Amino acid sequence: MAEQPIRLLIVDDIQSTRDNLRKLLSFEEDIEVVGTAGDGKQGVEEAQRLHPDIVLTDVNMPVMDGIQLTEQLTQDLPASPVIIMSVQGERDYLRRAMQAGAREFLIKPFSHDELVAAIRRVYAMELKKGTFLTRTAEPPPLLTSGRSGPGEVFVVFSAKGGVGKSIIAANLAVALARETDAKVALVDLDLQFGDIGVMLNLNHSRSITDVVDAQDHLDAEVLDDILAVGPAGIRVLLAPVKPELADLVTPDHVRTVFAEVRKLCDFVVVDASSHLGESILQVMEMASKILVVTGLTIPSVKNARLTLGVLESLNIDPERVLLVVNRVDGYSDFNKEATEQYLRVPVTVQIPHDPKAVSDAWNQGKPFVETQPEAEISRAIRELVFRLVPQEQPALAGGDKKRRRGIFGR
């Protein structure tokens, strides 16, 4: 049996199948599901990012099917062998799957034991063949940041819930990582109702409450374990799993977290709650930019005005405050000009209202900058990256400028 668990990627277009397989395998100590994907194309992307030991894939899927996925992985990532799952009667698939390079073929419905045995068999076989030795070395885990000095902090805030802070913070962090060579962390400081874990489909049991437990011996290594690995290799500090645990996290803990995370990352994006408490205020003080998010509705703009007033009373340099208008469409109470006039602050970026891109991304558990890089909403996020890190010149017009492998992700 393997000392390290067998790292498995599951590819299936049906969410419930993915969930069931993940659940089924969660009882096996020697198997760890490191990722899931909803079609062959995503499967290839995830395999390239995660370098799993085994890819378990369905055959019939939209965009790219399991056979094409197998062909591509056999060619590009021979150290990630494929097991194909298909329903009985698809005999032709069996032949094609084997020709494509699949190592095993599971006929649905299969039992838990058959599944686990197939995974272990393929792994043992590949181990014998030395397949995994051909894998290029994994990038090192967290090291100190490439840039000098502590990482820059960008806080996403609004005094009103539901304006899009979490969506913007998550997409911004991923876009920063994709468009620059920087190490990026995303910290979910909505301690009671943090959404980042669900939004990015992060199956990770550790959160900021583990920082509380490790308070006295928190260092890079301990933190590396606590941080989840998100899209584009960003590292994510999740909010507590239950709202009642939020109170365990004191402003002192938050200060310790930021001191450590800033040593390790070039940029730290913070998703805040709508509450202006001591924790978030001290993070705002250390932030190089505070993104105040508002919708174009009357209550939202009113609250943005109150927020700007608080920041002013804290003597925060107005240069550090960026106004981001979200969900822009033709039906708003205000337009950009009226908002600027009322708030007496220029609008830095306008993010369009795009329910389709947003809900597709939610459903896939991925940020829209990855699922729909060409959409206007993704361009707006890249524009925000450019405002925050001007020298990086992200490709505003096109999709992805350069697709980096996770900088310090796996």
Ligand X SMILES: Nc1ncnc2c1ncn2[C@@H]1O[C@H](COP(=O)(O)OP(=O)(O)O)[C@@H](O)[C@H]1O
Residues interacting with ligand X, by CB under 6 A? 158, 161-167, 195, 326-327, 351, 353-355, 358, 377
Closest CA to 239 of 200, 260, 209, 273: 209
Cβ closest to Mg ion, residue 165 vs residue 379:
165
Contacts of 35 (CB under 8 A, 6+ apart): 9, 10, 46, 49, 50, 52
294 binds, among Mg ion, ligand X, none (CB under 5 to 8 A by kind): none
Closest CA to 181 of 266, 66, 308: 266
* Residue 35 CB, nearest approach to ligand X (Å): 23
Q: What is the DSSP string of 55-70?
A: EEEES--SSS-HHHHH
Give CA angle at 111 (107, 112), nearest 5°. 125
* Residue 85 CB, nearest approach to ligand X (Å): 32
The residue ranges of DSSP E strands in 136-212, in sequence order, are: 152-157, 184-188
Q: Is 306:160 a contact under the CB 8 Å cutoff?
A: no
Cβ closest to Mg ion, residue 44 vs residue 272:
272
Cβ closest to ligand X, residue 51 vs residue 327:
327
Cβ closest to Mg ion, residue 13 vs residue 190:
190
80 binds, among Mg ion, ligand X, none (CB under 5 to 8 A by kind): none
Residue 39: both structure tokens together: 């079609």
Write the Ramachandran bin of 162: left for phi over 0, alpha for psi from -120 to 50, otherwise beta: left
Cβ closest to ligand X, residue 57 vs residue 171:
171
Cβ closest to ligand X, residue 82 vs residue 159:
159
The interface region with Mg ion, picked from 33-41, 49-57, 186-194, 373-381 by CB under 5 A, is: 186-194
How many residues sit in the footprint of Mg ion (CB under 5 A)?
3
Binding to Mg ion, residues 165-184 (CB under 5 A): 165-166
* Residue 10 CB, nearest approach to ligand X (Å): 25
Residue 16: both structure tokens together: 């419930």
Cβ closest to ligand X, residue 59 vs residue 176:
176
* Residue 22 CB, nearest approach to Mg ion (Å): 25
* Residue 293 CB, nearest approach to ligand X (Å): 7
**How many whole angstroms separate alpha carbon 365 and alpha carbon 359?**
10
Give CA angle at 144 (140, 146), nearest 5°. 95
36 binds, among ligand X, Mg ion, none (CB under 5 to 8 A by kind): none
351 binds, among Mg ion, ligand X, none (CB under 5 to 8 A by kind): ligand X
* Residue 46 CB, nearest approach to ligand X (Å): 23
**How many whole angstroms separate alpha carbon 271 and alpha carbon 230?**
15
CA dihedral 119, 122, 123, 127 (to 10 degrees): 170
Q: Does 57 bind Mg ion (CB under 5 A)?
A: no
162 binds, among Mg ion, ligand X, none (CB under 5 to 8 A by kind): ligand X
- Residues near Mg ion (CB under 5 A): 165-166, 190
